[in-house]
Structure 1
Amino acid sequence: MRRIPYRLAGAAAVLVSLPLAVSPPVAAQAVEPDYTITVNPAATGATIPQSMYGVFFEDINYAADGGLYAELVRNRSFEFNSTDASGWNGLTGWTATGSATVTNDDQRLNERNRNYLSVTGAATLVNAGYNTGLAVKKNDKYDFSVWARGTASLQVTLQTVDGTALSTPLTIATKGDTWKKYTGALKATATSDVAHLKIKTDAAVRLDEVSLFPKNTYKNHGLRTDLAQKVADLDPGFVRFPGGCLVNTGSMYAYDAANNYPRARAYQWKDTVGPVETRATNKNFWGYNQTYGLGYYEYFQFSEDIGAMPLPVLPALVTGCGQNRATVDEALLQRHIQDALDLIEYANGPATSTWGKVRAAAGHPKPFNLTTVAVGNEENLPNEYWANFLRFESAIKAKYPNITVVSNSGPDDQGATFENLWAKNREHGSDMVDEHYYNSPAWFLQNNRRYDAYDRNGPKVFLGEYASLDNKLYNSLAEAAYMTGLERNADVVKMASYAPLLANIDNVQWKPDMIWFDNDESWGSTSYQVQKLFMNNVGDRVVPTTATGNVLQPKPITGAIGLSTWRTAATYDDVKVTRPDGTVIYGDDFDDGNADGWTSVTNRGNWTVSNGGYAQTTTDTEDTMVKAATISETDYDYTLKATKQSGAEGFLVAFGIQETGQFYWWNLGGWNNTQGAVEKGITSAKEQILTKPNTVTTGQTYDLKVSVRGTKVTLFLDGVEWASFDDNAVTEPFAQVVTEDTRRGELIVKVVNAQDIPAVTRIDLGKRKVARTAKQTVITGDPGEQNTRSAEPIQPVTSTVSGIASTFTREFPANSVTFLRIKTTR
């Protein structure tokens, strides 16, 4: 067998990421194989549903406004304010010359559209759109519209920053003291990605809903063409929308005039349908404004346009994403349950029904054929969530018994909430359970068999959000390896979607992401290319196989020790590392007034030695890690004292810190001082190894001990065992699955080789007769490479290869995903 080289970090094996020259795979001759793949001729595999892979859309990273939604004008209805983001106001996105003020009074356009612009004389308004300006293309046409009240002449043009015209002018004459919509078109005379929209008025007038849309949108349904096409090219089986954290966060208000349509309320689908000028705007959970121009009608229409099943997610009236609140308002809960029933009628009801009539008025008299709805997203209050879920499910099933209702298992891949909710779902016999997790590449390579042990007769799994914690090829290889396990378990895992889908390069709240864009360009990440390869080559049945070959055994946890805080001021003292026999390896009591040997990892926070302790004094800074004393021992005890001085959370005690950016930390008083955890960090992102309820008391000194014995860690809080874990999973850098496309009469052999050397592999297809050639698609390259705006080096390469037989040997390139489509013959 060939020896596989690795670099180790902590207990997890991490593959060496070195530049390499990649050669096309060739059939290996007279070489002992590293791996074998053998088809089981006696077994029949699971049917793979058409919905196996889909996409998850959330308005995060400016994915909607300034993204998929093709509107070019930012803050078109002057609704932005400081609730959305610090420093924002009704003219954010605009430059006004002359007398122009944002007004909110009883002369407004309508009750949902609260603000309008009041111009008291001649004035000039300029809007630069999103990113660095509006993107326009020579000879393309753009539809302009505005609601106006008053008599004036408006001159509308596109121009550069210095005033050079980019379009012929459009003149609109407004008339009368009632609100009226005016429309026209602009034709670009040059191409620019820094254009501005300029509006000049010669008299007093009131303006609202200033809009500029490309004439050419995806299937003429208002979505940006290149982004929509990239999603369509994935050929997704479903579209999960509209989130995500923005679904179940915010204030728990319904749409209610008595509350003055409060900002930061929970997402409600009824806010997002009907004419756009009547839709409310809202604070987005991710720190900006969402106009709801991209609303439920558009989501349903887009799903239909790309041939995907719509899968809306409804708030369960229990917040998640760190907020952890549950409603106690029975009337509000009943209103949201009725909203769920109304949504199904909106999607499926006849055009004569109450809500079907609203759909028909928007231009879609035929039903959207909704089959599945999800209730809730990542709720971390399992008992409260479960009580509400049962209320929703009961009402939905009573009226619409054929609708699949999706529950969930909380925000993590394991832990108390996960176990609690899965137990409830199994006992109840739920239709489907939504799982979410974002983990390291090592985790994905260590958990390929996760679903092998799931109950085949229990609730089905919807993996609604997952990704490896970066956007490099190596992350995508780990995801690809994991996806072979999803397909192998297609009888349990019925749907899966990478997340998030879209990210505006200038407005990023979360990464990794699948598709990146600015105002005129878009590019797929390495994960986009991998997801597309899998989604375009699913097959309809699993062909059972066995595989043999090299795996990597875990290594002990070694590395530096560290200290950190998260929006908390804390003091640490009496730091010591000892061998099991008590021999001191490292110690620092800070009594000498300095912290020699401690260095910053994140360059954040204010660390100082004060009163014989090492203190971090800021309460508004996250992730302030410092480190010292690289420990090469495999068995050791790390002890210290910790005192919270002030702030939102508690302590972060790090160990096993590697130069690669990997580490472990014990998080006490996390999540706004509600729970503790052990997390495994990968640069700036972390996966949770274990969680449990926990709070930290300000002013109290705690004795903390981290006891490391190889790969096993035991944690002690004030002398009492708090928790333990063993990071001893085996890493499998080679993964495979075989599926069948019965319609085309093809076997699809899918092989992932996530290591820095080629993998010579013998493939035994049993007694199947196959063609001598096959269509091969390979994605490979430097594992540290990523696709960017300037270059997309990671692309699939398709060719025809020979040497195929019932049993054949191939060499799969280092750091590669390879698909072979092999014709079967009779």
Structure 2
Amino acid sequence: MGLARGRWRIGLTAGVLGSLLAGALAASPGAAGAGPDGPTDYTIDVDTARTGAKIDDTMYGVFYEDINRAADGGLYAELVQNRSFEYSTDDNTAYTSLTSWDVAGAARVLNDDGRLNARNRNYLSMDAGSTVTNSGYNTGIAVIRGRRYDFSVWARTDASARAPLTIGITDSTGDLATARRVTARGGWAKYEASFTATRTSANGRLSVRAGAPVALDMISLFPRDTYKGRENGLRKDLAQKIADLRPGFLRFPGGCLVNTGSHEAYDEQSGWQRKRSYQWKDTIGPVEQRATNSNFWGYNQSYGLGYYEYFQFAEDTGAMPLPVVPALVTGCGQNKATDDDALLKRHIQDTLDLIEFANGPVTSEWGRKRADMGHPKPFRLTHLEVGNEENLPEAFFARFKKFREAIEAAYPDVTVISNSGPDDSGSTFDTAWKLNREANVDMVDEHYYNSPRWFLENNGRYDSYDRGGPKVFLGEYASQGNRFSDSLSEAAFMTGLERNADIVKLASYAPLLANEDYVQWKPNMIWFDNDQSWGSANYETQKLFMRNVGDEVVPSTASGTPATTGPITGAVGLSTWATSAAYDDVKVTGEDGGTLLADDFSAGDAQWRKSTGRGSWTVRDGAYVQSDETAEDTLVTAGDPNWSNYDLEVKATKKAGKEGFLVAFGVQDTGNHYWWNLGGWNNTRSAVEKSTDGGKQTMAEDGTTIDTGRSYDLRVEVRGRQVTLYLDGKKWGSFTDDKPAEPFRQVVTRDKATGELIVKVVNARAAQARTEIGLGAGARVAPEARVTTLTADPAAENTEDERPVAPKTSLFKGVDDTFSYTFPAHSVTFLRIKTE
């Protein structure tokens, strides 16, 4: 998971395709052919006698990251939060060692030689008569009437003393299960009990009452009914939704959490490492001996869901395991590289040990550890990724080569995957790809989170990739929303991925999971709360593609939608992001040389509209100043939204704060405009971003940063769809925004096992698409096709209470070597046609 688009991650405005492609989508195009039912809008010609790119079984998979509480409180079925009392203010200022616990009586957390083990350092000391109660996650602990729940605890008493423990599950209205009792005695030992819930509740609490002095640790409550019945297992409904996708691979354990954080940070008091980078060896072995670590996304992770469980889950779902290991170059806004050669060598050896853990025989050191955990057979690891979204491509690649050299020497059959940074283009992307090509890397991971329009415009992205160069792993992508319109744009893009299956070998939407009460990132594929889960519109689209892949591409072509493009039009604007800045001498000049706007702010700010209502804008010392250093997106605008072909000039000065300044043009409203973002991303780079209905895409960028207190002269020239930008009189960059956002896309594949052609069509426009489909003269096909269709209002979203986006199946009679089919407005359709 990356932060290049992080500031836009919290969602979009409604009507993405409606306003984004108004006209091009709403208008019905002219007849492109004729079918039995009259004029058609489009034609699709399929060359069934030829075969295109082979599609691997692993083409589509899932990317799992512990973001949005995806592990503890999510996929990992443990119901108790902070079960080992390891939460700390060192990890999160809101945490204490008793977070999620209420104490009645005398109980305190200790960290001394009486602890359970070296990694599980804190434990709870309880006096006789005291009670502790855990509130779980979200609104509480969810239990279902008639279901079994397994309790366990590690306990210790002094010498041979006995300590009865009474365990109960309750909510505000009373008991949820009959209380159980266990008796602890002597040194640390594990005690267990089970419950059958007598009522259903999403607000339960687990309580433990001590009848005598006792020390407790690892207080746990699990549903008996985990996915595949695994002990220390996964929440069944979430795991099943992932399994229902039939993923070809499972990328784990994450993105940013893998390569961020401190690599070696010791707690001075205890000598134990806190805030370690994600290291796989911390996550295996007996659960009570695994560390608790802080997560990049702001909360703690228990590592109860660790590498063994990830490998097991991949096996259970038939997915290829694809772990990601840190390259010791941070990404995700943390641009640091380690110079500790010994530490680098240790991480390389840890990676070799990981492969042995996955594939080694039981006679090897790490293969034996896997066998001891219950899996003597190898997990058949074939692919491994080093690094994630590093913003320092040269530093990353120098270390990547050392990882690759060591892995290929010891395990030549393992494919080592590199990456290209956090975005779809730009200097980091270009440099990374150059290094990867020159070193003949097998596969490169690309990540991007862009607007729906970007996905509609870039269906042909991989058409021009070098067929002799590295293959592509599209490890993270999404269109910045969970509306059906977002999934339509992604579906249109996916037809291009399949058409280029010889280049794009792996692809996964991201992120996978989100707990609705702990959201760091939107959009997400699967949402959940304590007791329910639901797939987004994007999930339903991904599932259709993942379950209807095919084995090979069948060459096909389609007619397009007539383009209706005009010049870039719009007003102008000024903005800031977590920064105070001053603007002066704003001037807009038309192509005839006439002045459209001139403002030196000597008469105040009457010409400017505070579009977002954020920030503190005042005229001060002859300039227009935004003084709130915490406010984000403080856009103010001036001028006519019908302006075109003009020059915008402005003086800008950063006063204080994290970033630089934002100068907008082509402004239609707060969600539809361009802006020149100078000193963005914590003043690490600059870019022109295009906003369409709130979704962003990058048009041009470089590494420019902004100095505080310095005045900059900015000039933006808009001519038709061409934009040229000047910084202090020198050309900074330019772009032409003329890619068509084609709403009608298709791809055809062949399923060898069933003998079917799979015709996949996306119609993202607001009118139905009457289409003539030609399979070639004399093509021998069955007269019926099995049809699966997704169609809904573009603004529709699946929620906890409503699922308006769901597939519908039907039969279509009338298939021949040439036939007509009408694809609904706003739809994704799969036609499976039997051939001889």
Question: What TM-score range do you get, normalising by the shorter chain?
Answer: over 0.9
Aligned positions of 1:110-129 closer than 5 A: 110-129=117-136
Cα deviation code 1:409-451 (max 9, x no counterpart)? 1111111111111111112111101111111111111111111
What amino acid sits opposite 1:62 in the alignment? R
| AA in 1 matched with 2:831 | L
- Which string of whole-angstrom CA distances, capped at 9 and with x for unpartnered residues, describes residues 630-683 of structure 1? 431221122222111112221122222333712222111122222111122345
Whether 2:411 is the aligned partner of 1:400: answer yes
| Aligned residue type for 1:599 | K
3-state SS in 2 of match to 1:328: coil
TM-score (norm 1): 0.95
Aligned with 2:273 (options 250, 257, 262): 262
CA contact (8 A) 2:417 2:443 kept: yes
Quote the Cα distance in structure 2 between the aligned partners of 1:146 and 1:630.
Answer: 68
In the alignment, which residue of structure 1 is the partner of 2:211? Answer: 202
SS in 2 for 1:566: coil
Letter in 2 for 1:520: D
Q: For residues 121 and 598 of structure 2, what CA distance do their matches in structure 1 show? A: 62
Distance 2:451 2:801 in 1: 26
Q: SS at 1:631's partner residue?
A: coil
Q: In the alignment, which of 156, 159, 175 is matched to residue 167 of structure 2?
A: 156
Other structure's SS at 1:126 match: strand
Which of 329, 336, 340 aligns to 1:325? It is 336
Q: Which amino acid aligns with 2:83?
A: R
Partner of 1:612: 622
Partner of 2:775: 765
Structure 1 615/811 Cα, relative in aligned 2: closer, same or farther at 3 Å? same
Partner of 2:631: 621
Superposed counterparts of 1:652-663, under 5 Å: 652-659=662-669, 661-663=671-673
Check the 8 A contact 2:25/2:743 in 1, yes or no: no
SS, match of residue 545 in structure 2: helix
Alpha-carbon displacement from aligned partner over 1:439-487 (angstroms, at most 9, x marks no partner): 1111111111111111112111110001111111111111111111111
Match of 1:570 among 581, 585, 600: 581
User: SS of the residue aligned with 2:408?
Assistant: helix
CA separation of 1:443 and 1:15: change in aligned 2, threshold 3 A: farther
Rounded to whole Å, the distance in 2 between the matches of 1:142 and 1:69 is 15
Summarize deviations over 1:101-131 as a string: whole Å, max 9, x none. 2222222222211222222342221111111
Structure 1 residues 224-253: Cα deviation after superposition (integer angstroms, max 9, x where no partner): 000000000000100001111111010122
Q: Which moved more, 1:459-468 or 1:28-37?
A: 28-37
- Unpaired runs of 5+ residues, structure 2, are 1-14, 29-33
CA distance in 1, matches of 2:149, 2:248: 32
Following superposition, the deviation at residue 153 of structure 1 comes to 1.9
Q: 2:114 aligns with which of 100, 107, 111?
A: 107
Q: Residues 540 and 15 (structure 1 numbering): CA distance in 2 closer, same or farther, change over 3 Å?
A: farther
Q: SS of the residue aligned with 1:658?
A: strand
How many angstroms does 1:191 deviate by? 0.5
* Structure 2 residue aligned with 1:288: 299
The answer on whether the counterparts of 1:404 and 1:431 sit within 8 Å (CA) in structure 2 is: yes
Q: Cα–Cα, structure 1 residues 160 and 435, in superposed 2: closer, same or farther, change >3 Å? A: same
Ranges in structure 1 where 5+ consecutive residues have no aligned partner? 21-26
Relative distance call for 1:741 and 1:413 in structure 2 (3 A) is same
Query: What code does the residue aligned with 2:646 have?
Result: Y
The equivalent of 2:813 in structure 1 is 802
Please name the residue that 2:78 is paired with: 71
- Maintained 8 Å contact 2:584/2:623: yes
- TM-superposition CA deviations, 1:685-725 (whole Å, max 9, x none): 53222221122111111111222112111111111111111
**TM-superposed deviation, 1:17:** 9.1
Matched residue, 1:524: 535
Partner of residue 726, structure 2:
716
Deviation at residue 255 of structure 1 after TM alignment: 9.3
- Are the counterparts in 2 of residues 500 and 513 from structure 1 also a CA contact under 8 Å? yes
Residue matched to 2:52? 45
- Compared with structure 1, are the counterparts of its residues 127 and 595 closer, same or farther at alpha carbon in structure 2 (3 Å cutoff)? farther
- 1:588 paired residue number: 599
**Structure 1 residues 683 and 118 mapped into 2: Cα distance closer, same or farther (>3 Å)?**
farther
Amino acid at match of 2:132: L
Whole-angstrom CA distance in 1 between matches of 2:254 and 2:562 = 37
Amino acid corresponding to residue 549 of structure 1 in structure 2: G
Q: Distance in 2 between matches of 1:481 and 1:315?
A: 33
Q: Which residue pairs with 2:3 in the alignment? A: none
Taking structure 2 as the reference length, the TM-score comes to 0.94
C-alpha displacement at 1:596, in angstroms?
A: 5.4
The residue number in structure 2 matching 1:733 is: 743
* Equivalence for 1:304: 315
Q: Which residue of 1 aligns with 2:764?
A: 754
- Which residue in the other structure is 2:220 paired with? 211
- Inter-partner Cα distance in structure 1 for 2:421 and 2:60: 21
Change over 3 Å in CA distance of 1:153–1:41 after alignment to 2? closer
Partners of 2:686 and 2:668 lie apart in 1 by: 23
3-state DSSP class of the match of 1:334? helix
Cα deviation digits, residues 111-165 of structure 1 (max 9, x gap) = 2112222223422211111111111001111111111222422111111135x11
Determine if contact 1:61/1:508 at 8 Å carries over to the other structure: yes
Q: Within the alignment, does 1:485 sit opposite 2:485 as a pair?
A: no
Aligned residues: 809
RMSD of aligned Cα (Å): 2.1
Please say if residues 426 and 458 of structure 1, whose CA atoms lie closer than 8 Å, have aligned partners that are also in contact: yes
Report if aligned partners of 2:16, 2:693 keep a CA contact under 8 Å in 1: no
SS class of match (1:246): helix
Residue type of the alignment partner of 2:156: R
Deviation for aligned residue 1:42? 5.2
Q: For residues 390-789 of structure 1, what are the structure 2 equivalents within 5 Å? A: 390-594=401-605, 597-601=608-612, 603-659=613-669, 661-682=671-692, 685-766=695-776, 767-789=778-800
Say which of 197, 200, 220 aligns to 1:191.
200
Cα distance, 1:595 vs structure 2? 5.1
Q: 2:107 aligned with 1:97, yes or no?
A: no
Cα gap change, 1:604 to 1:109, in 2 (>3 Å): farther
C-alpha distance in 2 between matches for 1:716 and 1:217: 60
Structure 2 Cα separation of the partners of residues 493 and 61 of structure 1 = 28
For 2:11, the equivalent position in structure 1 comes to none
Counterpart of 1:733 in structure 2: which amino acid? Answer: P
Query: C-alpha displacement at 1:259, in angstroms?
Result: 8.8
The answer to which of 805-814 and 30-39 deviates more is 30-39
**Which among 24, 37, 40 is matched to residue 33 of structure 1?**
40
| Cα distance in structure 2, aligned partners of 1:14 and 1:489 | 29
Q: Is the 8 A contact 1:264 1:285 kept in 2?
A: no
Contact 1:15 1:755 (8 Å CA) reproduced: no
Residues 375 and 406, structure 1, Cα contact 8 Å, conserved in 2:
yes
Query: Residues 562 and 625 of structure 1 are in contact (CA less than 8 Å); yes or no, is this contact kept in structure 2?
Result: yes
1:24 aligned partner: none
Kept in 1, the 8 Å contact 2:665–2:673? The answer is: yes
SS at match of 2:256: coil
- Counterpart of 2:190 in structure 1 is 181
C-alpha separation in 2, matches of 1:556 and 1:13? 15
Query: Does the Cα contact within 8 Å between 2:674 and 2:688 map onto a contact in 1?
Result: yes
SS at match of 1:552: coil
Does the 8 Å contact 2:80/2:220 carry over to 1? yes
Percent of residue pairs identical = 60
**Is the aligned partner of 1:131 residue 2:138?**
yes
Aligned counterparts of 2:258 and 2:794: Cα–Cα separation in 1:
35
Structure 2 SS opposite 1:95: strand
- 8 Å Cα contact 2:635/2:670 also seen in 1: no
Corresponding residue for residue 23 of structure 1: none
SS at match of 1:183: strand
Partner SS, residue 122 of structure 1: coil
* Partner AA of 1:792 in structure 2: R
Maintained 8 Å contact 2:421/2:446: yes
CA distance in 1, matches of 2:579, 2:497: 40
